[in-house]
């Protein structure tokens, strides 16, 4: 045995359908972002283990430098410097974060990346549609999350929807 983790089992048809539905909502949220010449428009939704929405957000929703994942986590009490309060963290232990774009692994506008915030919140699963292009920074959030034990699922069939509100950048 080489010590590598076994590949993740493919999701059930029901799970895949839920993933596509929640990720489509994240893509819809990205379309609400105020356009920017220096940042992607992204939407994010956090769903608990029972399939209930906990929070949602989109880039620049309340702050010109806020990312979608950061906005959704802030609505759960997770500040930019740490994880959420203990009761919320317990609900996040089985949660999935859906993001139209791969959570950032490098960032210029804040000291903590979205990948760091997801890890601090204890979210064990992330589903995204579009890998972060290298337009602003090197996209490596998915790899950073995987390296720390987060199950990362990419559903590229929704990448076109995730790119639409970013057409002015591409």
Just list the catalytic residues: 69
CB within 8 A of 22, min separation 6: which ones? 45, 47, 96, 98, 127
Distance from C-alpha of 58 to C-alpha of 144, rounded to nearest angstrom: 22
Distance from C-alpha of 122 to C-alpha of 125, rounded to nearest angstrom: 9
């Amino acid at each position: 045995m080489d010590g590598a983790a076994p590949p993740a089992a493919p999701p059930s048809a029901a799970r895949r359908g839920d993933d596509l539905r929640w990720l489509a909502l994240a893509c819809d949220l990205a379309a609400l972002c105020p356009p920017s010449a220096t940042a992607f428009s992204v939407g994010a939704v956090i769903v608990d283990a029972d399939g209930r929405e906990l929070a949602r957000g989109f880039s620049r929703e309340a702050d010109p430098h806020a990312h979608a994942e950061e906005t959704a986590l802030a609505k759960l009490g997770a500040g930019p410097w740490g994880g959420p309060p203990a009761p919320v963290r317990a609900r996040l232990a089985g949660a999935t974060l859906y993001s139209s774009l791969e959570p950032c692994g490098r960032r210029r506008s804040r000291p903590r990346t979205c990948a760091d915030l997801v890890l601090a919140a204890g979210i064990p699963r992330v589903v995204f549609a579009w890998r972060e292009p290298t337009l602003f920074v090197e996209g490596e959030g998915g790899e950073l999350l995987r390296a720390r034990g987060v199950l990362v699922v990419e559903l590229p069939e929704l990448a076109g929807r995730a790119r639409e509100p970013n057409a002015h950048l591409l």
